[in-house]
Structure 1
Amino acid sequence: MQTKAAILWEVDTPWSVEDIELDDPGPGEVRVKLAASGMCHSDEHLVTGDLPFELPIVGGHEGAGVVEEVGEGVSWLEVGDHVVFGFIPSCGRCHSCSTGHQSLCDLGAVLGVGRQIADGTSRHHAQGKDLNLMCLLGTFAHDTVVNEASCIKIEKDVPLDKACLLGCGVVTGWGSSVYAAEVSPGDVVAVVGVGGIGASAIQGAKLAGAKQIWAIDPVESKREKAMEFGATHTAASMAEAMEPLQEKSWGLMANKVIMTMGVGQGDLLIEALALTAKRGRVVVTNIHPAAEMTANMSLLDLTLMEKQVVGSLFGSGNARSDIPKLINLYREGQLDLDNMVTTEYTLDQVNDGYDDMRAGKNIRGVMKYT
């Protein structure tokens, strides 16, 4: 069939919205008509080359839609089912999945290649070339074909334009607080960067019982929005937060510092550790450029104060259990997805959406498809 998608042909060029040819789903695959896609900063990393995925590629990895065709061997999904895509597939059988770490599923090893899991070929084509898929999904499209391992079935009453956020940003941020940071009741938490992931980390810290949540971002409107998601204090930078956080915490500093900036910077890690209490933890969730190999930090501080630095992918969570769990929290009014969406766009406006993201206008932009 023919559909429309946003393609990145070369690094440092705009997304090209054009017609593509989409093959039928193969064994273990489904064809999904997308309802919406979140506009995550990770797709910007494709444009800048910070994530060196193979091009040309259909962008997008934060999507939700309706199953329209089922390939051979798929037994638990059927036409009409509503699904959210997990940007890390989960097989349920590898060591990571079977020990409760679906965010590290072995199937994720082929993310950077971007072709179908089953046979390493493409279902998406344009201008006579095979197209790869961002995170094996390609949600910057009206239709896509994905492996069943990337699908999480949800109830049909959940708004798909909100559910799409659970495919990456919300689970990643919420899990960074709840799982990776292990925020406990009474903790002092600092979240550095208030985009979709940071806003979700703030909500996760609030639900976990943090007594102080410091939202740190240079954009004033984002700091104001952070207060609506549960932040108790704000600052424009880690340096600016240092003195007031020390005062408000009675000199103890932050038990947990969660790094959710759009682009990580290794030279800022020393500031994050300075904000961190003795035996505190820094969680590095944001993506750093693939070529960055150094970080500025005091290893003496790390040892003498028993501080920790840990990485977190997909919130260190389990999408198949966490996405339904977060949907129920949304239904009960304990998780705010509605106010996460700052601006809605069409597929043709994909470049406008990323211009707004770069300008700091959005917590999360969402493309809605008819």
Structure 2
Amino acid sequence: MKAAILTAPGTPLTIEEVTIAAPGPHEVLIRTVAVGVCRSDLHFVDGAYPHPLPTIPGHEAAGIVEAVGSEVTTVRPGDPVVTCLSAFCGHCDQCVTGHMALCTDAGVKRRKDQPPRLTLAADGSTVHQMLNLSAYAEQMLVHEHACVAIDPDMPLDRACVLGCAVTTGAGAIFHAAGVEPGETVAVVGCGGIGLAAVNAAKIAGAGRIIALDPVPEKRELALKLGATDAIDAASDTAAAQVVAMTKGGVHHAIEAVGRPASGDLAVGVLRRGGTATILGMMPLTHKVGLSALDLLASKKLQGALMGGNHFPVDIPRLVAFYLRGLLDLDSIIAERIPLAGINDAFAKLRQGDSTRSVVVFE
């Protein structure tokens, strides 16, 4: 199969032939139909976050099950599926207490004494699987708990963005933040994750949804998806504007960029007792914090890996939201490209102007 390979940080991906193993116990072979180009992949491609190389990035995907290994009970050949990087074991203390996105059980990967799932066709050397998926490829071989079957009426070029951007953004609203009807929400950053958070806040019944982004086109898109107000995040008075229009700050601030300034902005717009939820991948050496006065005002700061999702339940529900016209995935997707266009899509992400590019294989 053809796949986009990263061989060194900061270098373009190359399209190469890769051999994929047959599914073992609890493994699912998927024909990839569509993959979103996410900023999280860019962190690995540019070397901001380390990963064993060579590797195939890509973690926001949808496809069709081609084959299943022994003991697989959750999907069968022919099922349309969405994948999710937060694969779970189902029996560790994180899983059984409802924190599936925090599962770190190595059982969802192949053991080191087993053949790798992916190898270069040219010499048989190992290709390291990224985030349990490696989706910039014509096929994926994943643990059955890294995918979920969805309604066959769902278009897969839209479904793919549910696997990360929407699961993370909506999960932050529904799970990590637990937004209640009437509460105020500020979303810092209106890329794929931020726009999904805006849309989910509307579904949750938030009383006021304030979108903050330096790009005018993204602010307009946020208004289309449910924001009641939009502010230039690059303005020196952005935080003050939010505090003024909400008469003291917001109940919830969602940071969806991964930049130090956006984390500070999320904290800066909180009301007394408000909570800032950081979703973006900050530089590894950076710290986000609360001042002594913030703590005295009962303000809270939290991370939320993948929005704290319960993806086997969440993704089918998000599909239903889309099919009912409540969730707008079409507006989040800026373009559809072939695999050969992956490096151009990353270049657009570096510029910060695009929302979501989707690689389609058919």
TM-score of the two chains, using structure 2 as the length reference = 0.94
| Structure 1 residue 188, shift from structure 2 partner | 1.7
- Which of these residues, 157, 164, 175, is aligned with residue 160 of structure 2? 164
- Tell me how far apart the structure 1 counterparts of residues 312 and 113 of structure 2 sit (CA, whole Å): 24
Q: What is the aligned partner in structure 2 of residue 205 from structure 1?
A: 201
Determine whether 1:353 maps to 2:345. Answer: yes
Any residues of structure 2 matched to 1:18-167 within 5 Å, and which?
18-107=16-105, 116=110, 121-126=115-120, 127-128=122-123, 129-167=125-163
Identity of aligned residues (%): 36
1:157 aligned partner, one-letter code: D
- Tell me how far apart the structure 1 counterparts of residues 312 and 110 of structure 2 sit (CA, whole Å): 20
| CA RMSD across the alignment | 1.9
| Structure 1 residue 121, shift from structure 2 partner | 4.2
Given that 1:202 and 1:213 are in contact with CA atoms closer than 8 Å, whether structure 2 keeps it comes out as: yes
2:271 aligned partner, one-letter code: A
- Tell me how far apart the structure 2 counterparts of residues 269 and 201 of structure 1 sit (CA, whole Å): 16
Unaligned runs of 5+ in 2: none
| Structure 1 residue 34, shift from structure 2 partner | 0.5
> Are residues 326 and 257 of structure 1, via their aligned partners in 2, closer, same or farther at CA, if it must alter by over 3 Å?
same
- Tell me how far apart the structure 1 counterparts of residues 113 and 229 of structure 2 sit (CA, whole Å): 50
- Tell me how far apart the structure 1 counterparts of residues 273 and 31 of structure 2 sit (CA, whole Å): 48
2:182 aligned partner, one-letter code: G
- Tell me how far apart the structure 2 counterparts of residues 347 and 175 of structure 1 sit (CA, whole Å): 28
- Tell me how far apart the structure 2 counterparts of residues 69 and 118 of structure 1 sit (CA, whole Å): 23
Q: What is the aligned partner in structure 1 of residue 319 from structure 2?
A: 327
Q: What is the aligned partner in structure 2 of residue 253 from structure 1?
A: 249
Q: What is the aligned partner in structure 2 of residue 181 from structure 1?
A: 177
Determine whether 1:364 maps to 2:359. Answer: no
Any residues of structure 2 matched to 1:204-223 within 5 Å, and which?
204-223=200-219
- Tell me how far apart the structure 2 counterparts of residues 119 and 221 of structure 1 sit (CA, whole Å): 50
Q: What is the aligned partner in structure 1 of residue 287 from structure 2?
A: 294
- Tell me how far apart the structure 2 counterparts of residues 311 and 298 of structure 1 sit (CA, whole Å): 13
- Secondary structure at the aligned position of 2:148 is classed as strand
1:191 aligned partner, one-letter code: V
TM-score of the two chains, using structure 1 as the length reference = 0.92
Given that 1:64 and 1:163 are in contact with CA atoms closer than 8 Å, whether structure 2 keeps it comes out as: yes
> Are residues 271 and 166 of structure 1, via their aligned partners in 2, closer, same or farther at CA, if it must alter by over 3 Å?
closer
Unaligned runs of 5+ in 1: none
- Tell me how far apart the structure 2 counterparts of residues 233 and 33 of structure 1 sit (CA, whole Å): 41
| Structure 1 residue 76, shift from structure 2 partner | 3.5
> Are residues 120 and 39 of structure 1, via their aligned partners in 2, closer, same or farther at CA, if it must alter by over 3 Å?
farther
Given that 1:216 and 1:236 are in contact with CA atoms closer than 8 Å, whether structure 2 keeps it comes out as: yes
- Tell me how far apart the structure 1 counterparts of residues 199 and 113 of structure 2 sit (CA, whole Å): 40
Equivalent pairs, count: 359
> Are residues 39 and 294 of structure 1, via their aligned partners in 2, closer, same or farther at CA, if it must alter by over 3 Å?
same
- Tell me how far apart the structure 2 counterparts of residues 98 and 353 of structure 1 sit (CA, whole Å): 38
Given that 2:243 and 2:270 are in contact with CA atoms closer than 8 Å, whether structure 1 keeps it comes out as: no
2:238 aligned partner, one-letter code: A
> Are residues 76 and 284 of structure 1, via their aligned partners in 2, closer, same or farther at CA, if it must alter by over 3 Å?
closer
Offset from partner CA, 1:63-96 (integer Å, 9 cap, x none): 1111112222223322211111111102222222
- Secondary structure at the aligned position of 2:274 is classed as strand
- Tell me how far apart the structure 2 counterparts of residues 119 and 62 of structure 1 sit (CA, whole Å): 28
- Secondary structure at the aligned position of 1:338 is classed as coil
Offset from partner CA, 1:191-229 (integer Å, 9 cap, x none): 111111000110111111112111111111111111111
| Structure 1 residue 298, shift from structure 2 partner | 4.5
> Are residues 54 and 171 of structure 1, via their aligned partners in 2, closer, same or farther at CA, if it must alter by over 3 Å?
same
- Tell me how far apart the structure 1 counterparts of residues 263 and 159 of structure 2 sit (CA, whole Å): 33
| Structure 1 residue 307, shift from structure 2 partner | 0.4
Offset from partner CA, 1:249-308 (integer Å, 9 cap, x none): 12x2111111001x332x654433221100000101111123x1434x453123211100
- Tell me how far apart the structure 2 counterparts of residues 26 and 118 of structure 1 sit (CA, whole Å): 14
1:147 aligned partner, one-letter code: H
- Tell me how far apart the structure 1 counterparts of residues 143 and 111 of structure 2 sit (CA, whole Å): 7
- Tell me how far apart the structure 1 counterparts of residues 228 and 254 of structure 2 sit (CA, whole Å): 15
